[in-house]
């Protein structure tokens, strides 16, 4: 009699390479149906890295078992990480997990409207209803952040509001916390240290010029650019601001900042111009599909 999906997956956790009808292990990798979709990878430091990409209904069932067997293991979008790692199919064999934060979960059997208020943006929400269409149970899962190294390049990945991202860091770091600090422009870090509120949408930071060495340039209202997109890379989403001033390489923005794919909440800057600065990432990538 063949092994069940769960037996194969639990065997993989125990270091065994079982094969079932559609789930099988080969060396340090567990697969669903074929080698095109890794479910989990065993790393040298004892960490199991899980694939959070959505693929098919049947593969999702295999993933659910895998998540249950490895509840505290980090998940990443294998597809987004592959693109960041030069489109190398088996990038995960050469990547080293440096640090990660655990996924967050929540569930409720009542007071669902109040529970909805606690669900973080970007979380995967599951709702169970009875035969009459009434909600009986609600839960959410939000993927954590993972810091990894690949060929002497350092990457941080995770959810940012409603989208999954991978960013290459400008320098080596040893923790998730330091990874996010390294992505922040120095002017933004200095402002926060001074207690000044710095706003952010995606890779863009917006800093009030208060107490900085940079001031809003003198200009005429007619010279302000209206509904202008901030500089963006090819194939990336746009962040459009209500009003903008360009002064050499410096960008000043006010009004609202809207995201073209609606992956981020509209950001209100107000009537005062802010210094707009992009994060320090060498490159940014996102997932083409859903990630759980």
Tens of pLDDT, residues 36-56: 999 999 998 889 999 999 999
| Domain tally, the chain | 3
Residue carrying the six token digits 């990660």: 100
Residue 224, in any domain of the structure: yes
pLDDT at residue 152, as a whole number: 97
Q: Let me know whether 1 and 49 are in one domain.
A: yes
In a domain, 248, yes or no: yes
Among candidate residues 235, 179, 227, 230, the one with its CA nearest the CA of residue 201: 230
Answer yes or no: do 267 and 206 share one domain. yes
Say if residue 207 is in the same domain as residue 270. yes
Dist CA 147 CA 162 (whole Å): 19
**Is 123 inside any structural domain?**
yes
Q: Are 219 and 245 in contact (CB under 8 A)?
A: yes
Q: What is the mean pLDDT of residues 72-96?
A: 95
- 192 assigned to some structural domain: no
Neighbours of 199 (CB within 10 A): 17
Q: 275 in a domain, yes or no?
A: yes
Sign, CA torsion 30/32/33/36: negative
Residue 95 domain-assigned? Answer: no
Residue 205: per-residue pLDDT: 95
Q: Which of 120-134, 201-215, 257-271 has the lowest mean pLDDT?
A: 201-215
| Distance of alpha carbon 212 from alpha carbon 204, whole angstroms | 18
Identify which of 28, 27, 150, 160 has the alpha carbon closest to the alpha carbon of residue 81. Answer: 150
| Whether residue 209 is found in the same domain as residue 265 | yes
277 shares its domain with 204: yes
Q: 9 and 61 share a domain? A: yes
pLDDT in tens, 118-162: 998 778 899 999 999 999 999 998 999 999 999 999 999 998 877
Residue burial 76-90, b: 16+ Cβ < 10 Å; e: rest: bbbbbbbbbbeebee
Q: Does position 236 have pLDDT exceeding 80, yes or no?
A: no
In a domain, 274, yes or no: yes
Domain containing 128: what range?
Answer: 104-141
Q: Are 228 and 279 in contact (CB under 8 A)?
A: no
Q: Could you give the CA distance from residue 62 to residue 191 in angstroms, rounded to a whole number?
A: 47
| Cβ atoms < 10 Å from Cβ of 263 | 18
Indicate whether 258 and 207 sit together in one domain.
yes
Q: What b-and-e string marks burial along 97-131, b requiring 16 or more CB atoms within 10 Å of the CB?
A: bbbbeebeeeebeeeeeebeeebeebbbeeeeeee
**26 belongs to a structural domain:** yes
Do residues 12 and 69 both lie within one domain? yes
Q: How many CB atoms lie within 10 A of CB 172?
A: 13
pLDDT bucket at 231, cuts 50 / 70 / 90: confident
For the whole model, what pTM was predicted?
0.87
What is the arrangement of strands in the sheet containing 239-247, beginning at the earlier edge strand?
A: 199-201, 204-207, 267-278, 250-259, 239-247, 225-229
pLDDT of residue 261: 77
Q: Cα-atom radius of gyration of the chain, to the nearest Å? A: 22
pLDDT at 212: 66
Looking at 73, 91, 112, the residue that finishes a domain is 73
Segment among 6-20, 112-126, 167-181 with least mean pLDDT: 112-126
Q: Are residues 275 and 229 located together in one domain of the fold?
A: yes
Q: How far apart are the first and last CA of the chain?
A: 32
Domain check: are 5 and 65 in the same one? yes
Rounded mean pLDDT, 180-191:
94
Nearest residue to 280 (alpha-carbon basis) of 214, 212, 206, 203: 203
CB-side neighbour CA atoms (13 Å) of 283: 13
pLDDT of residue 110: 92
């Amino acid at each position: 009699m063949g092994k069940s999906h769960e037996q194969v997956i639990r065997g993989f956790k125990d270091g065994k390479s079982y094969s079932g009808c559609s789930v099988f292990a080969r060396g340090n990798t567990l697969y669903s149906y074929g080698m095109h979709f890794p479910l989990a990878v065993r790393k040298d430091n004892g960490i199991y890295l899980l694939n959070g990409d959505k693929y098919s209904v049947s593969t999702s069932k295999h993933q659910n078992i895998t998540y249950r067997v490895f509840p505290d293991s980090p998940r990443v979008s294998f597809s987004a990480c592959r693109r960041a790692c030069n489109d190398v199919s088996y990038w995960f064999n050469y990547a080293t997990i440096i640090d990660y934060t655990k996924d967050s979960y929540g569930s409720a059997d009542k007071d669902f409207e109040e529970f909805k208020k606690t669900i973080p943006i970007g979380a995967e929400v599951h709702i169970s209803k009875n035969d009459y269409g009434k909600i009986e149970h609600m839960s959410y899962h939000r993927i954590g952040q993972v810091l990894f190294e690949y060929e002497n390049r350092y990457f941080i990945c995770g959810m940012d509001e409603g989208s999954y991202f991978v960013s290459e860091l400008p320098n080596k770091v040893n923790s998730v916390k330091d990874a996010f600090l390294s992505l922040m422009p120095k002017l933004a870090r200095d402002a926060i240290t001074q207690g000044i509120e710095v706003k952010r949408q995606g890779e863009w930071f917006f800093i009030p010029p208060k107490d900085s060495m940079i001031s809003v340039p003198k200009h005429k209202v007619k010279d302000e650019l209206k509904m202008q997109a901030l500089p963006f890379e090819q194939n990336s989403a746009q962040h459009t601001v209500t009003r903008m001033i360009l002064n050499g390489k410096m960008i000043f923005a006010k009004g609202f900042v809207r995201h073209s794919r609606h992956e981020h909440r509209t950001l209100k800057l107000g009537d005062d111009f802010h210094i707009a600065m992009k994060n320090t990432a060498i490159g940014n990538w996102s997932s083409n599909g859903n990630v759980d």
